[in-house]
Amino acid sequence: MPGIKFITSGVSVTLQDNGRYGVQHLGISPSGAIDKRLMHTVNSLLGNCLNHPVLEFALIGPALQVIGNVKFCCAGKFNFNINKVDGRIQSGTVDKVYTAQNGDTITFEPCKNHTYGYIGFAHNFLISPDFKSYSIDTRSSLGPNSGKVFQKDDIIDLGEIRFTNSQDYKSVDLDPTKVIKVTKGPQWNNFINREDFFNKSFSITTKRNRVGMYLKGPAIKNNMKHDMMSEGIVKGAIQITPNGKTVVLLSDHGTTGGYPKIAVVCDEDYEKLAQMPFNHQFNFILE
Amino acid sequence: MITEVLLYGDSGLMCNFGNKVTPQVNDAILFVNNQIQQLTGILYTVPTYNKLVVYFDKTQVSTSLVIDTIKQIKIPANLSSGKVHNIPVCYDLEFGLDLVKISEHIGLSIKQTVESHYSKPLYMYGYGFLPGMPKYGDTTYCAPRRLEKPRSSVPSGSLGWVEYYGSAYTKESPGGWNIVGRTPIQFFDKSKQSPCLIDPGDWIQFYPITLKEFYAWN
Domain residue extents for chain A = 3-157, 179-286
**Residue at which a domain ends, from B38, B72, B106:** B72
B77 occurs within a structural domain? no
The string of pLDDT tens digits covering residues B149-192 is 889 999 999 999 999 999 999 999 988 899 999 999 999 999 99
Q: B110 to chain A, minimum CA–CA distance in Å?
A: 26
Name the residue among A30, A186, A255 with its Cβ closest to that of B128: A255
Q: How far B7 CA lies from chain A's nearest CA (Å)?
A: 8
Mean residue pLDDT across chain B: 95
Range of the domain at B131: 84-215
Residue of B nearest to A186 (CA): B8
Answer whether A232 sits within 8 Å of B7, measured CB to CB: no
Contact assignment for B53 to A227 by CB distance below 8 Å: no
Give A-chain residues touching B39 at CB under 8 angstroms: none
| Bridging pattern class, strands A281-286 and A179-184 | parallel
**Residue B140, domain CATH:** 2.40.100.10
Q: Name the fold adopted by A179-286.
A: Cyclophilin (2.40.100)
Give the H/E segment covering residue A38: helix A36-46
Residue B154 within any structural domain of the chain: yes
Tell me the average pLDDT across B93-98: 97
Alpha-carbon distance values, B214 to A21, A104, B91 (Å): 36, 53, 10
* Within-domain flag for B112: yes
Q: In this complex, is the C-beta atom of A266 within 8 Å of any C-beta atom belonging to chain B? A: yes
Give me the phi and psi of B115, to 5 degrees please. Answer: -60, -40
**Same domain, residue pair B123 and B164:** yes
CB contact under 8 A, A267 and B11: yes
Task: Flag whether B66 is in a domain.
Answer: yes
For residues B21 and B92, membership in a common domain is answered with: no
Q: How confident is the model at residue B89 (pLDDT cuts 50, 70, 90)?
A: very high
Helices B23-36 and B63-72, axial angle in degrees (round to 10): 130
CA dihedral A278, A74, A79, A38 (to 10 degrees): -30
Residue A155 scores a pLDDT above 90: yes
Number of domains, chain B: 2
B198: nearest CA partner in chain A: A26
Count interface pairs A-B at CB distance under 8 A.
115
What letter represents residue A9's amino acid?
Answer: S
**Would B78 be classed as within a structural domain?**
no
Q: Which residues of chain A lie closer than 8 angstroms to B9, CB-CB?
A: 183, 234-237, 264-267
Hey, are the CB atoms on B8 and A185 less than 8 Å from each other? yes
Maximum Cα–Cα distance across chain B: 58
Looking at residue B78, its pLDDT comes to 83
- The distance in angstroms from the start CA to the end CA of chain B is 44
My answer on whether B176 and B124 are in the same domain is yes
B162 and B191 belong to one structural domain: yes
* Interface membership of A262 toward B (CB under 8 Å): no
Q: Is residue B99 included in any domain, yes or no?
A: yes
- Give me the pLDDT at residue A9, please: 98
CA A11 to chain centre: 12
- The string of pLDDT tens digits covering residues A178-228 is 999 999 999 999 999 999 999 999 999 999 999 999 999 999 999 987 778
Q: Any bridge partners for residue A81, and if so which?
A: A91, A107
Interface test with chain B among A40, A51, A131, A140, by most B beta carbons within 10 Å: A140
In this complex, do A231 and B53 lie within 8 Å of one another by their Cβ atoms?
yes
Interface-testing mutation among B3, B5, B8, with chain A (most A C-beta atoms within 10 A): B8
In the predicted structure, residue A21 carries a pLDDT above the cut 80: yes
CATH number at residue B57: 3.30.1360.40
Cα B30 from chain centroid (whole Å): 12
Residues of chain B in contact with residue A184, where contact means CB-CB under 8 angstroms, are: 7
Q: How confident is the model at residue B129 (pLDDT cuts 50, 70, 90)?
A: confident
Q: What is the phi/psi pair of residue A67, to 5°?
A: -110, 125
Identify the domain boundary among B40, B72, B104.
Answer: B72
Q: Within this chain, do residues B160 and B122 fall inside the same structural domain, yes or no?
A: yes
